[in-house]
Amino acid sequence: MCAAALSAARAASLARTIPVVEPFGHIADRNRSCRRSRLALPFLSVFAFEVLATDGAARVGRIRTSHGTLETPGFFAVATRAALKGLDPEVARRAGVQALICNAFHLAVQPGPEPVARVGGLHRFMGWPGVLATDSGGFQVFSFRHGQVADELKGRRRLPGPTGPDLEAVRVDEDGVEFRVSASGRRHRLTPEGDVELQAALGADVLFCLDECTAYHVPFRVTRDAAERNLRWARRCLERFRALGLEGDRALYGIVHGGVYPELRRRSAVAVAEMGFGGFGIGDCLGETKADWYRVVDLVCPLLPQDRPRHLLGVGEPDDLVEGAFRGIDSFDCAMPTRLARHGQALHWQLPRFRLDIGASSRLREDVPIEDGCPCSACCRFGRSYLHHLFRAREALAVTLLVEHNLTFTTRLLARVREAIRAGRLRELRGELLAAT
Ligand SMILES: [Zn+2]
């Protein structure tokens, strides 16, 4: 076992001995509130999913964890390195964000699992009291290996900006994946078992299986072989998850692979469903166009158990959220709201591609909010001209305010989706949204 795996195992052992403590306030207040919540709400220690209403394939539900509830269809805001870009997680909570997703691979590289486990897990480490997931990191490792493939996988163009540590010599074998981080020269090895231990040490409510993602352009046999290996890895992940005694308190999500090939998707979905995971992710290459992923989701969702949540990995444009919910997806994660903010783009209901370019010089003459009726700080307190100035002056406040707005937009859109499903009019909302843009 290499040093990284040993370190993850030690941290997992450490995490099992440290109760997860609610963040906020100073430690005494924190401990009091913890005792109080355990006494008053003992049933909250169990992960559960329930469907409350349906409209065709779409459903409104609730994912309950020991750290609170995510209403579904819901959104995991991306906090890759245990931070939302430029935003206090408490502000995100007020913006309606109920769940975050961090990246186990990035956190394994920096700061490592031990400092996080030592303080009781990510919730306390990063001051986030709500639902928290960790992605295994497999996607990141393989995306670095394939260069531009990270974006090709999700059908989007790569945007400039920091993306993470440079990796060298990424090698995959039956046992796992090994890579070296260029800056430090340190070698890391991720195995299915070690990755579950790592995520357990980080304290996530929702964990994802380690998987190998394939690119759109690779031959069929590469996607097929990776999908088969991912099934073997999924079994190993689940065995370790159960051996750690986490089943019931947390959920491990199995991931459906198979690229754009229906026969591979079908086999992967049936096999992963039979393993009995607490929830399911739909991952791997989703094709080049939105129509490609619609076909994948339409094929996969009916093959998954009705009583378990379904998560669409890495997809979250406004129209994607509506289309995904329409097809039976319960949750999404996507860096888009925060990434757009860094590039001066604010989400807006009625503009092409839902984007308002704050950096455009015409904004200087617009003394109106980004969007009327939006309750976020950017819209309630500032006009577009000031936001344009902040963005052009490269003030950090510009990103902070735009991230808050974009997350508020996303959570409000999903609230509208849930309301429409309850009222049996999601198809109507879908039409309104498409007509608006
Ligand atoms: Zn706003």
Lowest average pLDDT, out of 15-29, 109-123, 356-370, goes to 15-29
My answer on whether 316 and 378 are in the same domain is no
What is the predicted pLDDT for the residue at 167? 57
Report in angstroms the alpha-carbon separations of 143 from 30, 82, 175. Answer: 39, 20, 19
| Mean pLDDT for all residues in the chain | 86
Q: How far is the CA of 158 from the centre of ligand 1 (A)?
A: 26
Catalytic residue among 55, 284, 320, 333: 333
State how far the Cα of 347 lies from the Cα of 413, in Å rounded to an integer.
11
17 and 121 together in one domain: yes
Backbone angles phi, psi at 212, to 5 degrees: -100, 125
Q: How remote is the CA of residue 401 from the centroid of ligand 1, in Å? A: 8
Report the Cα 430 to chain-centroid distance in Å. 23
Has residue 358 been placed in a domain? yes
Tell me: pLDDT of 162 over 60: no
Residue pair 384/358 in contact by the 8 Å Cβ criterion: yes
Confidence of residue 235 (pLDDT cuts 50, 70, 90): very high
Residue 392 has pLDDT above 80, yes or no: yes
Asked whether residue 362 is assigned to any structural domain, the reply reads yes
**Per mean pLDDT, which range of 12-26, 71-85, 302-316 is the poorest?**
12-26
Give the Å distance between the CA of 245 and the centre of ligand 1: 43
**DSSP letters of 21-51?**
---SS-HHHHHHHHHHHHHH-GGGGS-EEEE
Cα 73 to averaged position of ligand 1 atoms, centre (Å):
21
Mean pLDDT of 265-275: 98
Is residue 146 within 8 A of residue 39, CB to CB? The reply is no
Examine the domain organization and report whether 14 and 51 are in the same domain: yes
Residue 91 alpha carbon to ligand 1 centre in Å: 13
What per-residue confidence (pLDDT) applies to 186?
Answer: 79
Q: What is the pTM of this model?
A: 0.86
Q: How far is ligand 1, taken at its centre, from the CA of residue 394, in Å? A: 20
CA of 404 to the centre of ligand 1 (A): 7
Which pLDDT score, from 0 to 100, does residue 26 have?
32
Higher-confidence position of 18 and 299: 299
pLDDT of residue 166: 57
Measured CA to CA, the distance from residue 233 to residue 254 in angstroms comes to 10
**Domain boundary residue among 306, 334, 362?**
334
Report the pLDDT averaged over residues 185-193: 87
Instruction: Determine, yes or no, domain membership for 273.
Output: yes
**Residues with Cβ < 8 Å from 3, sequence gap 6 or more?**
none
What is the identity of the amino acid at 295?
R
Average pLDDT in the 90-110 region? 95
More confident residue, 40 or 62: 62
Strand 345-347 relative to strand 355-357, pairing: antiparallel
Q: What is the Å distance from ligand 1's center to 376 Cα?
A: 4
Question: 326 C-alpha vs ligand 1 centroid, how far in Å?
Answer: 25
Region 371-376: mean pLDDT is: 97
CATH code of residue 114: 3.20.20.105
| Contacts (Cβ under 8 Å, ≥6 apart) of 81 | 102, 103, 106, 107, 110
Give the Cα separation of 134 and 191 in Å (integer). 16
Average pLDDT over residues 106-130: 94
pLDDT of residue 165: 55
> Does residue 315 sit within a domain?
yes
Domain of residue 311: give its range.
3-137+144-160+193-334
Q: Is 353 left (phi over 0), alpha (psi -120 to 50) or beta?
A: left
Section 74-84 average pLDDT: 96
CA of 408 to the centre of ligand 1 (A): 6
Does the structure show a pLDDT above 90 at 160? Answer: no
pLDDT at 6: 40
Is residue 10 predicted with pLDDT exceeding 60?
no
Residue 167 lies in a domain: no
User: What is the pLDDT, as a whole number, of residue 255?
Assistant: 97
Asked about 135 being catalytic, the answer comes back as yes
- Check whether residue 320 and residue 362 sit in a common domain: no
- Shared-domain flag, residues 126 and 234: yes
Q: How confident is the model at residue 300 (pLDDT cuts 50, 70, 90)?
A: very high
State yes or no: pLDDT of 29 exceeds 50.
Answer: no
Residue from 135, 195, 211, 330 carrying the catalytic annotation: 135
Q: How far is the CA of 353 from the centre of ligand 1 (A)?
A: 17
pLDDT at 348: 95
Distance CA 374, CA 366 (A): 17
Q: Do 216 and 328 belong to one domain?
A: yes
The DSSP H or E segment spanning 13 is helix 3-17
> Sorting pLDDT into bands at 50, 70 and 90, what band is 333?
very high
**Angle, helix 384-392 to helix 396-422, in steps of 10 degrees:** 130
d(CA 240, CA 3): 19
> How many domains does the chain contain in total?
2
| Same-domain status, 264 and 320 | yes
**Cα radius of gyration rounded to whole Å, the chain:** 21
* Tokens describing residue 24: 């906020």
**Measuring CA to CA, which residue among 37, 41, 48 is closest to residue 72?**
48
